[in-house]
């Protein structure tokens, strides 16, 4: 019985010692010197409790604030970590047991994350003083200067970073983008091509190379670059819109449409600028290829989201009458062959002219003709005419008026007319005012089109 009692006592004492050991091992440290050891053991909650108690007693204890910030950072509570690190900076770290380089590196990244760019820049400039041959510090400082529109300082810091780490693709890329934005295309291209050597699969490099190629009208090169950029989902819409823009610049809207349709198909955020431009340019290409209904559908999507986006409101208003005016719809949407026949009918049956020759001119057609005996333009002899019809979505400008008059003069034709489904620019109207050219805008064209379907059918039978 005595032996059993002794065994129980021994076991009880052992359990008590074990409990005390476990409690002490998990309890919060009471002194700031112990906080680092607890951080290394991953006991972040213990550090938070202890550091809070210490900073409550000693608000300017930099080390306690530092380890409290580190504990928050390890728990992914970086907003709280940043508050503690700010307190460290205010208290000062000189002579404290705080590793300055890792502290300032982390603080700089947190300032960037929470959009405190000025404070971040101060940290990286301090780090450059501490380690003047560390490329990443110059790289981060260069990016921050670029964000402040200080291209001169950004260029200096990024070039220094590139000289310290010549094989680091991200540095050359950032330098290339900054130079591109500063309109230094030649230098930008060199930097981006260097970046490509070390980051071949970086879609951003291909995107900006495409922008540079497009700016110098190297459209074939730009098309290839944008296709590579479009392989990355983050750049797909922007790259496809730019690629479509290359084909539009080449006056090949039918080639642009597939890329722009791919861009529209990739839309996830209808309100984004990229999405709006994808739909807008697709609408323009559909308009140019006479698929006006599809163009209107794209512009209506834009109008639902942003009524003042570019000229979509004006375009929708312009095409609103198509739903009730079949004649104008035929004029704007029929194929080129049908369009030429329609315009010939207008010239012969509505303008009392006898057509002698015709040809296609861009987005319209041209006729040479003479007046009939019963012409409205009655003269003692039949005067030749040069008539041009346009159905471009843009107003006819001065160069087109000048062109028809120059061509007429070269052919010894004294009378001309220009007929359009839109209107005329102010410069075109001023230029034509005292010259032998008659202008038919949208309203006059509508008058000519009245009953044209019946006349056309009669002429064909």
Residues 308-318 have pLDDT tens digits of 999 999 889 88
Q: Which residues of the chain have pLDDT under 70?
A: 1-30, 373-381, 453-461
pLDDT of residue 336: 86
Helix (H, G, I), strand (E, B) or coil at 384: strand
pTM of the model: 0.72
CATH number of the structural domain 336-460: 3.40.1350.10
Fold designation for 201-324: 1.25.40
Domains 201-324 and 336-460 share a fold: no
**pLDDT tens for residues 172-224?**
999 999 999 999 999 999 999 999 999 988 999 999 999 999 999 999 999 99
SS3 365: strand
* Vertex 114: Cα angle to 110 and 115 (nearest 5): 115
Contact 345, 371 (CB under 8 A): no
pLDDT tens for 385-396 read 999 999 888 889
The pLDDT of residue 130 is 96
Report whether 189 contacts 209 (CB < 8 A): yes
pLDDT value, residue 16: 45
Structure tokens at 221: 């090169």
Q: How many helices (H) and strands (E) does the chain have?
A: 24, 5
Q: Which pLDDT does position 24 carry in this prediction?
A: 42
Domain boundaries along the sequence of the chain: 201-324, 336-460
Contacts of 437 (CB under 8 A, 6+ apart): 401, 404, 405, 416, 417, 418
Find the helix or strand (DSSP H, E) in which 387 lies: strand 384-390
Residue 450 to residues 13, 417, 445, 459, Cα–Cα distance (Å): 111, 19, 9, 15
Terminal C-alpha separation, the chain: 130
Rg (CA), the chain: 37
Which CB contacts under 8 angstroms, 24+ apart, belong to 428-434? 428/395, 428/396, 428/397, 428/398, 428/400, 428/401, 430/398, 431/398, 431/401, 431/402, 432/401
Whole-number pLDDT of residue 374: 53
**Pairing of the two strands 364-371 and 353-361:** antiparallel
State residue 34's pLDDT score. Answer: 81
């Amino acid at each position: 019985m005595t032996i059993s009692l002794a065994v129980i006592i021994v076991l009880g004492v052992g359990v008590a010692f074990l409990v005390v050991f476990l409690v002490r091992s998990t309890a919060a440290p009471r002194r700031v010197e112990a906080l680092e050891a607890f951080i290394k053991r991953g006991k972040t909650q213990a550090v938070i409790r202890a550091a809070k108690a210490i900073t409550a007693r000693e608000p300017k204890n930099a080390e306690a604030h530092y380890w409290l910030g580190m504990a928050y950072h390890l728990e992914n509570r970086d907003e709280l970590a940043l508050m503690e690190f700010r307190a460290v900076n205010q208290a000062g770290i000189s002579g404290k047991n705080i590793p300055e380089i890792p502290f300032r590196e982390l603080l700089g990244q947190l300032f960037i994350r929470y959009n405190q760019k000025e404070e971040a820049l101060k940290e990286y400039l301090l780090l450059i003083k501490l380690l003047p041959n560390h490329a990443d510090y110059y790289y981060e400082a260069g990016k921050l200067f670029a964000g402040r529109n200080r291209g001169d300082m950004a260029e200096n810091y990024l070039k220094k970073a590139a000289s310290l780490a010549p094989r680091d693709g991200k540095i050359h890329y950032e330098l290339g983008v900054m130079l591109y934005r500063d309109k230094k295309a030649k230098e930008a291209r060199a930097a981006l091509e260097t970046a490509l050597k070390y980051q071949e699969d970086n879609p951003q490099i291909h995107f900006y190379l495409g922008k540079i190629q497009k700016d110098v009208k190297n459209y074939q090169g730009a098309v290839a670059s944008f296709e590579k950029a479009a392989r990355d989902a983050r750049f797909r819409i922007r790259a496809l819109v730019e690629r479509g823009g290359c084909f539009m610049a080449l006056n090949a809207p039918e080639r642009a449409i597939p890329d722009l349709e791919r861009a529209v198909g990739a839309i996830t955020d209808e309100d984004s600028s990229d999405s709006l431009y994808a739909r807008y340019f697709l609408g323009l290409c559909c308009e140019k290829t006479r698929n006006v209904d599809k163009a209107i559908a794209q512009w209506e999507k834009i109008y639902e989201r942003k009524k003042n986006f570019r000229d979509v409101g004006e375009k929708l208003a312009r095409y609103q009458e198509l739903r009730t005016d079949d004649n104008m719809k035929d004029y704007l949407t029929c194929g080129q062959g049908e369009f030429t026949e329609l315009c010939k009918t207008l010239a012969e049956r509505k303008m009392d002219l006898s057509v002698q020759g015709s040809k296609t001119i861009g987005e319209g057609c041209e006729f040479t003709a003479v007046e009939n005996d019963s012409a409205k333009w009655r003269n003692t002899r039949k005067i030749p005419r040069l008539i041009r019809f346009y159905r471009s979505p843009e107003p006819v400008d001065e160069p087109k008026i000048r062109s028809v008059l120059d061509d007429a003069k070269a052919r010894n034709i004294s009378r001309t007319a220009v007929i359009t489904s839109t209107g005329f620019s102010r410069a075109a109207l001023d230029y034509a005012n005292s010259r032998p050219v008659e202008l038919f805008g949208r309203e006059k064209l509508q008058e000519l089109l009245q009953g044209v379907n019946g006349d056309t059918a009669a002429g064909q039978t």
